[in-house]
Amino acid sequence: MPTVNQIRDAEVTHQKRKNLTESQKKNADLTKEGFVVNSLIKDPKNLSMNELYDSMVISDDARMPEKLKENKKVKDKSLMPLSLITAGVMGIIAAGSSLVKKSAEVNKDIKPNERIDHLTRNISITKEELQGLYQLVQCPNKKTLLAASGVIVLGAMAFMGKMFTDGFKEIWVKKREADIQKNLQENLIAVETQSFSGKIQIIRSMLADKAREFSDYLSAKPKTPPVFERFNSKLKFLGKKPPSDTEEVNGLKYFAMGILTISSIIGLGYLSLKNLRSGKKFVETFIEKQKGKIGDIVSASSEQTKEADKVKLKIMLKEIDSSTELIEENVSKLNWTNPEEKKAFKDSLICEIRGATTKADPAMAGSGVPKAAFISFVSDYKAFLYNYILDSANPQFKMLFLSTTTLTAATYAGKAAGEAVKDVQVKKINAQTEFELQQRLVATELRNFKAKKDAAIDPLCEEFYTQLQKGKPKTELKTIAENILYEVKNGPPFVYS
C-alpha cells in the first residue's frame, strides 16, 4: 500500500512533466510542501525544531498580552433596579392614598369662598357622523335619518378614497425606492473595486518594500537593524494615539467657549432680574395711582352714585388684586346709609377677588351642575352635507357642501402627491449621500487594512532582525524572510474581508 509521501511525490512528478515554467514548478512544490492556510505539510522525520522555528517565524521571547490575564468579576445587580422600581411605585401609591385621606379630612372644614367649583362633564362631539347619530337618537324623523345616512356614506367614500390614495402613494414610492437602491448598488461597484484594488496594491507595495529590505540585510554588506518597539507593549496602547497640538488647541477653545457661555448666562440672568425689579417698581407706581383714584371715588360716593360706584370700584379693585384689608377699608368709608348693603357689597368683593376660584363661562363650561352635558363643535366638511340634507331648498348649503368637499378631496390628493415626491427625493439624496460616504470611507478602509497588516507583520520582522543580531546563518534568515513575505501576501487581514 503506497504511503502518503509516495502519493505526494507521484503527484509532484506528474505536475512537473507538464510544460511548466521554473516558477510554476516551484509554486507546485510549495503547494504540496509549503503552507496551505497556515498549515505546515512536511514529513516530520525530515523536520527539525530549528527549521520549524524559521519556517513558522517563532520568537523565543514572545509573551501573551497582559489583557489576557485580566479577570474582573462583575457583581450581578440586574434585579436591583427592578426591586427599586417596584418598591418605589408602591411607595408612590401609598403616598397617593394618604393624600386622598388628607383631602377628605380638609374638605369637611373648608370655607365656602375657598372651595373649588363643581364641574359639568362636557361631552364634545367633533365628528359629524357622531353628531348625526346623536340627532337621530334624540329626534328620530325622516330628515335626521337621511342626514345621518348621508354623512355616514360620504365618510365611507372618503375613507375608501383615502385608503386608495395612500396605497397608490406607497406603491409608487416603493418602486422608485427600488430603482434608487439598484442605482446605488451599481455605483457602489466602483467604490468597492477601489477598495479591493487598493488592498491588493497595499500588499504588492509591502511585498516589494519588505523584499528589498530583506535583500539588503541578506547581502554581503552589513547594515544596522532597525529598532522595534516591543509588540506586547504596543498592545497596551492599541487604538490610542498621543494628543496632538491641534487637539490641545481644540481643548482650550472648548474650555474658553464654556467659560464665555457661563459668563453670558450669569450676565443675562442678572439683566433679567434687573428688568424684573424695574418692572416691579412700575407696577407699584400703578397700584399707588389706582389707590388714589379709588380713594377719590369713595370720598365722593353718595346714594345717587351708588350703582355707578359699585361698578367702578369692582373693576379698579380687581385690577390691583386688592387685599382683604384694602377692600374692607375702602368699603367702610363709602357714604351709603344702609350698612347691610355695604356689608353685602364687601362680602361679594372679597368672594370674587380673593376667592380660590371663579365660575367659568356657562357658554363654555355649562351651568356647573355635576351632570353630563352634550355639546358639538364640528370642524368637518361632512357637516355641510348634513345641513344641505336638512334644508335642501337653500342653494347656499348646496354650494358650501360641493365646494368644501371638492377642496378637501383635492387638498388631500395634493398632499399625498407632494409627500410621495418628497419621500422619493429624500431617498435619492440619502442614496447619493450614502454613495459619497462610501467613497470617502475607501481611504479610511485602506488605512485600516494597512494598520492591521502592519500589526501582523511587524512582530515577524522584529523576530527576523532579532535572529539577524544573534548571527543566524543567511540561509536560515532567507527562510524566515520568505515566510514573512508569504504572510504579507496571504496572511490576515485578508483582502476579501
Name the one residue in this structure whose C-alpha cell is 468597492: 192
Q: What is the SS3 assignment for 357? A: coil
Give the Cα separation of 430 and 59 in Å (integer): 51
The beta strand positions in 64-218, using DSSP E, are 121-125
Question: pLDDT per residue over 138-190, tens digit each?
Answer: 888 888 888 888 888 888 888 888 888 888 888 988 888 888 888 888 888 88
Residue 83 in contact with residue 333, Cβ under 8 Å?
no
Give me the residues of the chain with pLDDT under 50, please.
1-8, 18-24, 31, 33-45, 47, 230-240, 242
What are the residues whose beta carbons fall under 8 Å from the beta carbon of 209, sequence distance 6 or more? Answer: none
Say which amino acid occupies 140.
P
C-alpha cell at 276: 424684573
Q: What pLDDT does residue 23 have?
A: 44
Listed residue (43, 40, 66, 37) closest to 54, CA to CA: 40
Q: What pLDDT does residue 236 have?
A: 40
What are the residues whose beta carbons fall under 8 Å from the beta carbon of 33, sequence distance 6 or more? Answer: 41, 42
272-278: Cβ within 8 A, 24+ apart: none
Q: What pLDDT does residue 150 have?
A: 85
**Any bridge partners for residue 125, and if so which?**
376
Alpha helices in 71-141 (DSSP H): 79-107, 128-138
Say which amino acid occupies 382.
K
Q: What pLDDT does residue 40 have?
A: 41
Q: What is the SS3 assignment for 372? A: strand
DSSP label at residue 37? T
Q: What pLDDT does residue 18 have?
A: 46
Give the Cα separation of 248 and 245 in Å (integer): 5
* β pairing state of 35-36 and 39-40: antiparallel
Burial of 342 (0-12, 13-18, 19+ CB in 10 A): middle
Name the one residue in this structure whose C-alpha cell is 369637611: 108
**Any bridge partners for residue 169, and if so which?**
none
Q: What pLDDT does residue 377 have?
A: 76
| Cis omega (within 30 of 0) for bond into 140 | no
Model pTM above 0.85: no
Neighbours of 99 (CB within 10 A): 10
* Residues written for the chain: 497
135-144: Cβ within 8 A, 24+ apart: 143/389, 143/390, 144/390
